[in-house]
């Protein structure tokens, strides 16, 4: 494990508001979790109570040796009704930011991490031409109130994620078509859920356009236009804040004959969006594994390969390859805003971290401007439709008591960060 990183390197971890705070009652995801026949395995509820325990969690990060924290501000809390802002919510996030600064933790704030206000979905959500202006208005409000405390802002988390979701669905359908049986009971549950969905949002179910839902080409353009308009709004309100966007990128590889398919995937998932990022201050890179393409397209993960709880191939060396790929096409400082592994074997998490950091160090040695590493995640949390069953955290949480239980990986990672800080 290389011991020396550049002075000022940012060592941190990431969370997302809905996954850790709890009781995000004005969001689209909260509504969908609580419908009859919901596609969610369980409800987020109190999550891991980070909304009340943020001071404890931030202080624990500092004790471990970390110096940065990427977290999200929840749009649905700040603007529960269109044009109506909650002063108590704004004050809450002001206190979170102050707690970071008091503990010498640099905040990296994400302004949209998957969840949206219910009212936005009722107005067409992420397929509506009005969404970029509404998002920019919210960003302007946040930054006018809190911008002096926010040195780095990510507008949108994983702006390209709908592309990957569509591919995963297609892969599962093609691989499991012969094994998947749709019975009468399942069809009835789906019909019930769709009726509930339509009633709850007040629109036909096919017009419920949440951020993680199916996306048209128009919808993809709307997401990136929202980034551009938000960037302008943030600069006007808080000119000293550095601005970027985050994208989920696989290490795209090819077997002989698969080069064209791999090139098409890279263009679809990353290169086609370069123009939207030209005026950004940095790029937020998120990587968890690789994808391999052959002459016939996507190559399934080999049966013998080590897999994570998410069903991904355990492949931490992919991070270095993606950093090098991005640096060839985008002349920006790079922050690793997410990278991690879902596992109950914490020794494998330690191995994942070490391999990822070796790759980052090699890139920095070669002159690539990687500025920080935000491990996903700080806490075991609510993993969307999969509930609390997938564990990415450096810190476990006893959800009966909400007690924080740092894992050996937290100490290991923190020691690396602290050792580098002492060497500066």
What digits encode the pLDDT tens for the residues 71-116? 999 999 999 999 999 999 999 999 999 999 999 999 999 999 999 9
CB 114 within 8 A of CB 384: yes
pLDDT surpasses 50 at 249: yes
Residue with tokens 């949390």: 381
303 labelled catalytic: no
Domain assignment of residue 170, given as a range: 10-423
Q: Say how many domains are in the chain.
A: 1
* List of E strands, 203-356: 242-248, 251-254, 282-286, 290-294, 297-298, 334-338
Cα-based torsion angle of the residue sequence 304, 306, 312, 316 in order, rounded to the nearest 10 degrees: -130
pLDDT band with cut points at 50, 70 and 90 for residue 186: low
DSSP secondary structure code for residue 302 in this structure: P
CB 88 within 8 A of CB 98: no
Structure tokens, 415:
């020691």
Mean pLDDT across 385-389? 95
- What percentage of the chain has pLDDT greater than the value 70? 94
More confident residue, 186 or 293: 293
Q: What CATH number does the domain containing 323 carry? A: 3.20.20.80
Rounded CA-CA distance 381/191 in Å is 30
More confident residue, 302 or 184: 302
Rounded CA-CA distance 53/330 in Å is 38
* pLDDT for the residue numbered 174: 61
Rounded CA-CA distance 162/169 in Å is 11
Helix (H, G, I), strand (E, B) or coil at 268: helix
Q: Is the peptide bond before 377 cis (omega within 30 degrees of 0)?
A: yes
Q: Tell whether 110 is covered by a domain.
A: yes
For the stretch 273-327, pLDDT in tens is 999 999 999 999 999 999 999 999 999 999 999 999 999 999 999 999 999 999 9
- What is the CB neighbour count within 10 angstroms for residue 244? 26
Q: Tell whether 155 is covered by a domain.
A: yes
* pLDDT for the residue numbered 423: 73
Helix (H, G, I), strand (E, B) or coil at 325: helix
Q: Tell whether 116 is covered by a domain.
A: yes
Structure tokens, 290:
């690789």
Rounded CA-CA distance 280/111 in Å is 15
Mean pLDDT across 391-408? 98
* List of E strands, 21-82: 68-72
Residue 172 C-alpha from the chain's centroid: 22
* pLDDT for the residue numbered 191: 77
Of 35-39, 280-284, 344-348, 378-382, the poorest mean pLDDT is in 35-39
Mean pLDDT across 145-163? 97
> Looking at 21, 127, 158, 229, which residue is catalytic?
158
Q: Tell whether 43 is covered by a domain.
A: yes
Q: Tell whether 370 is covered by a domain.
A: yes
Q: Tell whether 5 is covered by a domain.
A: no
Residue 163's contacts (CB-CB under 8 Å, 6 or more residues apart) are 215, 220, 268, 269
Record the pTM: 0.95
Q: Tell whether 20 is covered by a domain.
A: yes
pLDDT surpasses 90 at 342: yes
pLDDT surpasses 90 at 182: no
* pLDDT for the residue numbered 175: 57
pLDDT band with cut points at 50, 70 and 90 for residue 180: very low
Of 84-93, 117-126, 156-165, 366-375, the poorest mean pLDDT is in 156-165
Q: Tell whether 304 is covered by a domain.
A: yes
* pLDDT for the residue numbered 2: 59
SS3 of 385-413: HHCCCCCCCCEEEECCCCEEEECHHHHHH
Helix (H, G, I), strand (E, B) or coil at 27: strand
Q: What would you report as the CA-atom Rg of the chain, rounded to the nearest whole angstrom?
A: 21
Residue 174's contacts (CB-CB under 8 Å, 6 or more residues apart) are none
């Amino acid at each position: 494990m290389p011991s020396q990183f550049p002075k000022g390197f940012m060592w941190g971890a990431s969370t997302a508001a809905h996954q850790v705070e709890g009781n995000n009652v004005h969001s689209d995801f909260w509504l969908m979790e609580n419908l009859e026949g919901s596609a969610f395995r369980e409800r987020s509820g109190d999550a891991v109570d980070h909304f009340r325990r943020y001071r404890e969690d931030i202080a624990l990060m500092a004790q471990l040796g970390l110096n940065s924290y990427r977290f999200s501000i929840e749009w649905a809390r700040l603007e529960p009704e269109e044009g109506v802002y909650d002063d108590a919510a704004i004050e809450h996030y002001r206190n979170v930011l102050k707690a970071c600064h008091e503990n010498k933790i640099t905040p990296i704030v994400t302004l949209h991490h998957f969840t949206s206000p219910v009212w936005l979905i009722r107005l067409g959500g992420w397929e509506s031409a009005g969404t970029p202006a509404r998002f920019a208005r919210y960003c302007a409000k946040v930054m006018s109130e809190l911008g002096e405390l926010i040195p780095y802002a990510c507008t949108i988390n994983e702006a390209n994620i709908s592309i990957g979701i569509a591919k995963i669905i297609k892969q599962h359908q093609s691989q499991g078509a012969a094994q998947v049986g749709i019975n009468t009971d399942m069809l009835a549950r789906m019909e019930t859920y769709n009726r509930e969905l339509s009633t709850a949002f007040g629109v036909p179910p096919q017009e419920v356009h949440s951020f993680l839902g199916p996306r048209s080409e128009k919808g993809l353009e709307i997401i990136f236009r929202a980034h551009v308009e938000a960037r302008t709004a943030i600069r006007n309100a808080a000119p000293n804040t550095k601005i970027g966007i985050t994208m989920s990128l696989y290490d795209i590889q090819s077997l002989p004959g698969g080069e064209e398919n791999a090139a098409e995937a890279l263009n679809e998932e990353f290169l086609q969006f370069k123009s939207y990022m030209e005026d950004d201050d940095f790029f937020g890179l998120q990587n968890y594994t690789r994808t391999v393409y052959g002459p016939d397209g996507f190559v399934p993960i080999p049966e013998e390969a080590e897999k994570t709880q998410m069903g991904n191939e355990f492949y931490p060396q992919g991070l270095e390859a993606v950093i090098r790929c991005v640096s060839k096409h985008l002349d920006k400082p790079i922050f690793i805003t997410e990278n991690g592994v879902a596992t109950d074997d914490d020794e494998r998490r330690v191995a994942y971290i070490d391999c990822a950091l070796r790759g980052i160090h090699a890139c920095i040695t070669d002159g690539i401007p990687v500025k920080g590493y935000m491990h996903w995640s700080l806490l075991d949390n609510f993993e969307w439709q999969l509930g609390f069953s997938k564990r990415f955290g450096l810190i476990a949480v006893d959800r009966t008591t909400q007690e924080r239980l740092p894992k050996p990986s937290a100490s290991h990672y923190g020691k690396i960060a602290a050792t580098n800080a002492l060497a500066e």
